[in-house]
Amino acid sequence: MVVALNNNAQHQVVIIGGGFGGLYTAKHLAKANVKVTLIDKRNFHLFQPLLYQVATGTLSPADISSPLRAVFSKSKNTQVLLGEVNDIDPKAQQVIMGDKVVPYDTLIVATGANHSYFGKDNWKELAPGLKTVEDAIEMRRRIFSAFEAAEKETDPEKRRALLTFVIVGGGPTGVELAGAIAELAYKTLKEDFRNIDTSETKILLLQGGDRILPHISPDLSQVAAVSLQKLGVILQTNTRVTNIENNIVTFKQGDEVTAIASKTILWAAGVQGSAMGKVLAERTGVECDRSGRAIVEPDLTIKGYKNIFVVGDLGNFSYQDGKPLPGVAPVAKQQGEYVAKLIQKRLQGQTSRPFHYNHVGSLAMIGQNLAIVDLGFLKLTGFLAWVFWLIVHIYFLIEFDTKLLVVFQWAWNYITRNRRSRLITGKEDYVEAKTVNNITQIAN
């Protein structure tokens, strides 16, 4: 049975994906004379930049999530559909969801990107990434389970592997994870265990390039590196992971090959366009880059389809500086806003100028009192940068949902160094992390 969910004479805008790109497109169409259908697999928008704080026990998933229906409750021209899009039919102008079809006049594909394991997909289970709420809960489970298992482990070598954390990727997420785990091990958990000394924890951050945070200026990148090292993180640049198996990470720095036993390997590297990119390529012939991102036209449409737009991480927009815009929230948001305006102009018979990304600045959090802000004309480090980082993130968090509590939460955590959200949940075998099972069997 095929049921058309929209049968309306109004111009139908269908948006696939409720991340920053999709959300901002919909937001800026809320007062337009169009009908908007926002489709997402999840019933909430996730503020991904703070996901690492869920993974390290500071925030709860709901603190950084906004139920999509709540966001669009008052936008009567917008309907939210929970479900997965299987296919797109650009000829019939339809999006296919199982046995239902959703017709569109204009389609926005905003399904984002995932981590890339550079073809080693079996590493995914051994070194999980951080894209979804479930990823964060799994990471949290592994991190805290490692300390728990170490507390019970009597073999010094096994204990050492349990207290070794390896983070692959020195972009913002990798840096933030490394900093947060350092604070956990060297500060928050210090008094909590009886058999282990958590200050013996070893945290390695492996970066392929010659510096961490390559998107910010070299001097600030250097400040970040020194700050991380002061926190206790061991930083390895120009380092390529060559193998992950059986809780052993092998990496190469120049000609030197090192293998290290670690029970908790976390992945924060690579970009891989989401599956919808492939569908789009098959159906429209749009060219994708090596990372599976669709190459968009200057107005964010795809070649040959004036009514199909790609916004956010799934798109490769290379008309500024010649290299693709980074997969960060501000790009997605500006693209969403741009497309929303373009659609309205078109309906009024007007044309639009090509998309131009207005880079405001880069931020990265390293630890308490410790952040990096690069606004071009202004560079901040340390406490001031940390406050700035907080204000910016709070500002964006409360933009479409009143998350005042998150502010209190941070303030409170800051004062108390508390990690109240450090629950080990989600799996039947919650007692021992899966990665830990090879070494020790304490409590089956």
Q: How far is the CB of 88 from its own copies (least distance, A)?
A: 15
Q: How far is the CB of 8 from its own copies (least distance, A)?
A: 11
> How many chain residues touch its own copies (CB under 8 A)?
66
Binding flag, residue 41, its own copies (CB under 8 A): yes
Q: Is residue 110 within 8 Å of residue 310, measured between CB atoms?
A: yes
Kindly write out the interface string for residues 190-229 of this chain, putting x where it contacts its own copies by CB under 8 A and - elsewhere.
Answer: -xxxxx----------------------------------
CB closer to its own copies out of 125 and 134: 134
Binding flag, residue 31, its own copies (CB under 8 A): no
What is the C-alpha separation between 122 and 421, in angstroms, rounded? 30
For 78-116, letters b (16+ CB in 10 Å) and e give: bbbbeeebeebebeebbbbbeebbbbbbbbbbbbbbbbb
Binding flag, residue 115, its own copies (CB under 8 A): no
CB closer to its own copies out of 159 and 422: 422
DSSP 209: S
Sign of the CA dihedral with 84 first, then 89, 90, and 94 last = negative
CB closer to its own copies out of 319 and 400: 400
Binding flag, residue 135, its own copies (CB under 8 A): no
Burial of 134 per CB tally in 10 Å (0-12, 13-18, 19+) = exposed
Q: Write out the DSSP string of 224-287.
A: HHHHHHHHTEEEE-SEEEEEEETTEEEEEETTEEEEEE-SEEEE----EE-HHHHHHHHHH---
Q: Is residue 205 within 8 Å of residue 234, measured between CB atoms?
A: yes
CB closer to its own copies out of 68 and 328: 68
Among 360, 384, 391, 443, binds its own copies (CB under 8 A): 443
Q: For residue 227, which of 284, 170, 179 has the smallest C-alpha distance?
A: 179
Binding flag, residue 438, its own copies (CB under 8 A): no
Annotation says 176 is catalytic: yes
Among 11, 115, 142, 422, binds its own copies (CB under 8 A): 422
The catalytically annotated residue of 138, 153, 176, 183 is 176
Binding flag, residue 360, its own copies (CB under 8 A): no
What is the C-alpha separation between 174 and 263, in angstroms, rounded? 17
Binding flag, residue 430, its own copies (CB under 8 A): yes
Among 7, 8, 154, 358, binds its own copies (CB under 8 A): 154
Binding flag, residue 152, its own copies (CB under 8 A): yes
Catalytic residues: 176
| Site residues for its own copies per CB under 8 A | 3, 5, 41-44, 60-63, 65-67, 69-70, 73-74, 79-84, 86, 97-100, 133-134, 137, 144, 148, 151-152, 154, 189, 191-195, 401-405, 408-409, 412, 416, 418-426, 430-431, 441-444
